[in-house]
Structure 1
Amino acid sequence: MSKAILKSEGIVSLNESKFITEGLRENLRVDGRRPHDMRRLNINFDSGVTGHVEVQLGGTRVLTSVRADIVEPFPERPTEGFFHFNVEFSPMADPNFEQGKQSDQFIELGRVVERGLRESRAIDSEALCIIASEKVWSVRCDIHILDHVGNLTDCASIATIAALMHFRRPSTTVTGSQVTVHPPGEKEPVPLSIHHFPVCITFGFFEENGVTVLDPHLKEELIMDGQMTLTLNSHREICSIQKAGGTAVSMETLSQCLRIAAVKVLSSTYSSVLLYQVEEITGIIQKALEEDAAKRRKLRS
Structure 2
Amino acid sequence: MLLKIKTAQLLEELSKGRRIDGRALDAFRSINVETGIIGRADGSAKVSLGGTLVLAGVKLEIGEPFTDTPNLGVLTTNAEFLPLASPSFEPGPPDENAIELARIVDRGIRKADMIDLEKLCIIPGKKVWLIWVDIYVLNHDGNLVDAAALAAVAALLNTKVPKVEVIGESIKVLYEEKEPLPIKGIPVTVTTVKVGNYLLVDPGLAEEEAMEAKLTVVVINGQVCALQKGGEGFLTYEEVTEAIKIAIRKAEELKEQLVKVVR
8 Å CA contact 1:25, 1:211 repeated in 2? no
Residue deviations 1:53-90 (CA, integer Å, cap 9, x gap)? 11111111100000111001223322111000000112
SS in 1 for 2:87: coil
Larger Rg: 1
Distance 1:50 1:78 in 2: 24
Q: Secondary structure at the match of 1:28?
A: coil
Q: How well do the aligned residues superpose, as a CA RMSD in angstroms?
A: 1.6
Could you say if the C-alpha distance between residues 78 and 88 of structure 1 is closer, same or farther in structure 2, counting changes exceeding 3 Å?
Answer: same
Percent identical pairs in the alignment equals 35
1:103 alignment partner, one of 78, 95, 98 = 95
1:242 to 228, 232, 238: 228
2:130 aligns with: 138
Q: CA deviation at 1:199?
A: 0.6
Counterpart CA distance in 2 for 1:283 and 1:259 is 18
Unmatched runs of 5 consecutive residues or more in structure 1:
6-13, 264-274, 291-301
Taking a change above 3 Å as real, the CA distance of residues 34 and 260 of structure 1, as seen in their structure-2 partners, is closer
Which residue in 2 is equivalent to 1:90? 82
Distance 1:283 1:260 in 2: 16
In the TM superposition, what whole-angstrom CA distance separates every residue of 1:6-60 from its partner, at most 9, and x where no partner exists? xxxxxxxx43332122111112212121111111110112354541111111111
Corresponding residue to 2:241 among 255, 265, 273:
255
Query: CA offsets, 1:140-163, max 9 Å, x none?
Result: 000000010000000001100100
- Please list the CA deviations of residues 235-268 of structure 1 after superposition, one character each: whole Å capped at 9, or x if unmatched: 201110111112121122122223444x5xxxxx
Structure 1 residue 112, shift from structure 2 partner: 1.1
Q: In 2, Cα distance between the equivalents of 1:170 and 1:129? A: 13
Q: Normalising by structure 1, what TM-score?
A: 0.82
Note if 1:288 corresponds to 2:261. yes
Q: How many residues align?
A: 261
The question of 1:199 aligning with 2:188 is answered: yes
In the alignment, which of 197, 214, 217 is matched to residue 230 of structure 1? 217
- For 2:23, the equivalent position in structure 1 comes to 33
Contact 2:73–2:128 at 8 Å: present in 1 too? yes
**Unaligned ranges ≥5, structure 2:** none
Q: Which residue of 1 aligns with 2:34?
A: 44
Q: Secondary structure at the match of 1:170?
A: strand
Check if 1:217 corresponds to 2:217.
no
Q: Which has the higher strand share?
A: 2
